[in-house]
A = this chain, B = another copy of it.
Amino acid sequence: MALPHLRDHARIALVGDQTSIQQELTRHGLSPNAFDVCHAPEVIGMDESPTTAVKTKPKASLNVGMQQLQKSQLDVFISAGSTGAFLTSAVLNLGLLEGIKRPAAGALYPTSEGISLLIDVGVNTELKPDSYVDFARMGTVYMNSLFQLDNPSVALMNMGEEKSKGPKVVQEAYEALEAAQGLNFIGNAEGRDLPRGKADIYVCDGFTGNILLKFGEAFYELLRQRLSLDEQLTDFSYEEIGGLPFLGVNGNIILGHGISGPKAFKNMILRGQELMEHNLLENMRHAFQETEHS
């Protein structure tokens, strides 16, 4: 277990049913008071309607965690719960940052050149052109804050390099990105550019991004198994990556994979800490204020 090590650097609170949590701690040979506990007796199942569940279960761990974050009792909240419920609870309890219409989930992944961000990977099924610009801007602040990338490049996911390619909304997004101030927009990217690190940030709708992300994960797993790799290329593993930052809401939140184990949780906590240490929220507010006033 990596938690004792992490505890040297962060104070960790566990959100959930107090009795169950304390029983688990005891089962792992720890004192039942080893961690702060935020009691949350209700549970949202993976198969529940996110909106209904979040609204009718105020004491679900997702809601309690987001509320603690909103009250600044926590700096960061991480979860491996239902994506839909996570997002709904975040928007409801934290609200959106000023100037942002739609939040989005980003996925970091290694390329032959370094690391890139794909945004959105599952929040928005259908988009207006302006939201692509918001995603590009949020991605820019994120890559700039977390990796000190100055003026990171942004590409639009498409099925060809020419601006006349793709569905109408994507062509309109191209125009909007080209016209936007303060972005290093380099044009369209194709699927083949993703592993090659053509851009620092790729923007797309959540439908496309979600299918790409899950395909990449499973394709990597298939190759790993067929090659009997254990240690190599671990930087492609979701366990090492930890979780996805949800950008655009008024709080630092990280969503993990539904099947996350101890290693993934450790890395989710680290990803969350990074958001805080690099003042992501403050930088994000600042960037969108500048845009509003420009």
Contact = CB atoms under 8 A, between A and B. Distances in A.
B126 A167 contact: yes
- Specify the main secondary structure of chain A where it touches its partner: helix
- Interface range on chain A (Cβ under 8 Å from partner): 35 or more
A233 interface: yes
B227 A232 contact: yes
A182 interface: no
Contacts of A221: 195
A188 to B, nearest CB: 11
A145 B223 CA distance: 29
B193 A218 contact: yes
Nearest to A213: B191
Contacts of A191: 210-218
A276 to B, nearest CB: 29
Contact of A218 (B125, B192, B215, B225): B192
Contacts of A207: 158-159, 166-167, 170, 208
A1 B112 CA distance: 32
